[in-house]
Amino acid sequence: AGERVALKARIRDLLVREKAVLVAHYYVDGDLQDLAEETGGCVADSLEMARFGRDHPAQTLVVAGVRFMGETAKILNPEKRVLMPDLDATCSLDLGCPADEFAAFCDAHPDRTVVVYANTSAAVKARADWMVTSSIGLDIARELHARGEKLIWAPDRHLGSYIQRETGADMLLWQGSCLVHDEFKGIELELLRAEHPDAKVLVHPESPAAVVALADVVGSTTQLIRAARELDAKEFIVATDLGILHKMRAAAPGKIFIDAPTAGNSASCKSCAHCPWMAMNALSNLAETLETGSNEIHVDPQIGQRARVPIDRMLDFAA
Ligand code: 13P
Ligand code: SF4
C-alpha cells in the first residue's frame, strides 16, 4: 500500500512536470481512475474520452485504456503528444478486423454506408463514413436508416445485431466480438436473476443477444453507471467488465452489485470479466511513460487525416 501511495504521488508530480492530463477508461485499475479525476483529467466512456482529449488545452494526453483510445486521441489532436502506459494494450475487436480485409469487404458493397465502432485501428476508421461508440451507435444508425441508407457495420456483431433489432436498419455485419462480453451467458443470467428477482440487470451492448434480452438497461459504461445511480433499486446484476464496479460503487453507495455469470466464473473466478488489455495499465508503467516519454502513439498523418472525418462526424452528431 505504501508503494502505491508513493507511486501516485510521483505520477502527480510528473503530470505537473510534463504539463500532461490523464484520460482514463472505466475498465482500468481503480487507482488510475481516481488519479485521473483527482488531477483534473477524466474517467469516462470512449465517446467522452475522445471529447475530453480534444477539448482539453494540455499538450500531452496520457491515455489509460487500450490502443484505439490513444489512436483516436492522436487523430483528433495531431499536434499533441499522446502517451499510453503500454502500447500493446489492444482489443479483440481491433485484432479481428484487419484493414486490408475490411477494405475488400467495403469494396464488395459500394452501395453501403460504412459505420465502424471506435474499437478499430486508424486504418479501418480511414475507410469509414462514420465512427460510433456504444453510447451513440443506436442514435446514429436510426438516423442513417431514416435517411434510407443501407449500412456496413463493423466489427462487433453483437452490438450490430442489437442495433439492427432496435432500428430495423439494413446492416451487413462484420463478425467480430469482444472477448470479455462474448463470455456472458443468457441461461446462467436468467437463473441468477431468478435468485434476485428485484435486481435490475445492466448490460453493455457488446454482450450476446440472449444477455441483452434480459437487460433492464443496455448502454455504454457511462450510461450503465448513470443507471446504477438513478434507478430506484437496491441490487444490480452487471454484465460488463468488472473494472466498472469501482466507479459504480462510488456513484451509488449502499447499492449491491453482482457480476453477471460468464462461461468460466460462477462462484470461483472473480476476474473472468476483465479485459486483459485494460489490465495492462498500471501505476508503474504510467509513471514510467511519464518519466521517459516512451510509449508515444503515432498515427500516419495521411491515415489520421482520413480517419478524422468519421470521428468528427460522430462528435458533431453528438454535440
Ligand atoms: P464504452 O464506450 O461503453 O466505454 O465501451 C468501450 C469499450 O469497448 C470498452 O471495452
Ligand atoms: Fe476490446 Fe472488449 Fe477489452 Fe473493450 S473489453 S477493450 S471491447 S476486448
Provide the percentage of residues in the chain whose pLDDT is more than 90.
Answer: 96
User: Ligand 2, closest atom to CA 241?
Assistant: 5
pTM of this structure? 0.95
What the block records as the C-alpha cell of 229 is: 445511480
Same domain, 86 and 9: yes
Task: Give the structural domain span for 192.
Answer: 181-259
Asked if the structure places residue 269 within a domain, the reply is no
Q: What is the pLDDT of residues 50-61, one digit of tens each?
A: 999 999 999 999
Average pLDDT over residues 143-163: 98
Select from 204, 229, 259 the last residue of a domain: 259
The residue whose CA is least distant from atom 3 of ligand 2 is 275
User: Would strands 60-64 and 81-83 be described as parallel, antiparallel, or unpaired?
Assistant: parallel
Q: What is the pLDDT of residues 118-131, one digit of tens each?
A: 999 999 999 999 99
Query: Has residue 106 got a pLDDT over 90?
Result: yes
Query: Has residue 271 got a pLDDT over 60?
Result: no
DSSP states of 144-174: HHHTT--EEEESBHHHHHHHHHHH---EEEP
Is the Cβ–Cβ distance between 131 and 106 less than 8 Å?
Answer: no
Q: Label residue 39 exposed, middle or buried (CB < 10 Å: 0-12, 13-18, 19+).
A: middle
Position 177, amino acid:
S
Helices of type H across the chain? 2-17, 30-38, 46-55, 67-76, 92-95, 99-107, 122-125, 137-146, 157-167, 186-195, 209-212, 221-230, 245-251, 283-292, 301-318
Q: Compute the distance between CA of residue 71 and CA of residue 134 in angstroms, rounded to an integer.
A: 17
> How high is the mean pLDDT of the chain?
96
Select from 178, 203, 226 the last residue of a domain: 178
Q: DSSP 3-state assignment of 284?
A: helix
Tell me how many domains the chain contains.
Answer: 3
Same domain, 169 and 239: no
Place of cell 486483459: 276
The residue whose CA is least distant from atom 8 of ligand 1 is 119
Asked if the structure places residue 74 within a domain, the reply is yes
Q: What is the pLDDT of residues 64-73, one digit of tens each?
A: 999 999 999 9
Whether 92 lines ligand 1, by a CB cut-off of 6 Å, is no
Residue from 136, 24, 185 nearest 89 by CA: 24
User: Ligand 1, closest atom to CA 93?
Assistant: 8
Q: Compute the distance between CA of residue 166 and CA of residue 175 in angstroms, rounded to an integer.
A: 19
Same domain, 13 and 73: yes
Residue from 295, 310, 304 nearest 79 by CA: 304
Asked if the structure places residue 141 within a domain, the reply is yes
pLDDT at 263: 77
pLDDT at 264: 63
Position 27, amino acid:
Y
Is the Cβ–Cβ distance between 234 and 187 less than 8 Å?
Answer: no
Confidence category of residue 151, pLDDT binned at 50, 70, 90: very high
Asked if the structure places residue 226 within a domain, the reply is yes
| Full strand arrangement of the beta sheet holding 113-117 | 130-132, 113-117, 151-154, 171-173
Residue 85 sits in a domain whose CATH number is: 3.40.50.10800
Whether 93 lines ligand 2, by a CB cut-off of 6 Å, is yes
Confidence category of residue 272, pLDDT binned at 50, 70, 90: confident
Annotated binding-site residues read 25, 46, 91, 117-119, 134, 178, 204-206, 221, 275
Is the Cβ–Cβ distance between 188 and 196 less than 8 Å?
Answer: no
Whether 95 lines ligand 2, by a CB cut-off of 6 Å, is no
Query: Has residue 268 got a pLDDT over 70?
Result: no
Conformation bin of residue 148: beta by default, left when phi > 0, alpha when psi is -120 to 50: left
Query: Among the listed ranges 150-154, 201-205, 247-251, 267-271, which one has the minimum average pLDDT value?
Result: 267-271
Query: Has residue 273 got a pLDDT over 80?
Result: yes
ipTM above 0.95, yes or no: yes
Residue from 43, 53, 89 nearest 289 by CA: 89
Whether 122 lines ligand 2, by a CB cut-off of 6 Å, is no
Asked if the structure places residue 224 within a domain, the reply is yes
Span from the CA of 116 to the centroid of ligand 1 (angstroms): 14
Same domain, 250 and 209: yes
Annotated binding-site residues for iminosuccinate read 25, 46, 117-119, 134, 204-206, 221
Asked if the structure places residue 270 within a domain, the reply is no
Confidence category of residue 265, pLDDT binned at 50, 70, 90: low
Span from the CA of 55 to the centroid of ligand 1 (angstroms): 20
pLDDT at 99: 98
Average pLDDT over residues 22-46: 98
Whether 241 lines ligand 2, by a CB cut-off of 6 Å, is yes
First CA to last CA distance, the chain: 42
Average pLDDT over residues 173-179: 97
Work out the number of other CB atoms within 10 angstroms of the CB of residue 264. 12
pLDDT at 1: 82
DSSP states of 5-58: HHHHHHHHHHHHHTTEEEEEETTS-HHHHHHHHHTT-EEE-HHHHHHHHHH---
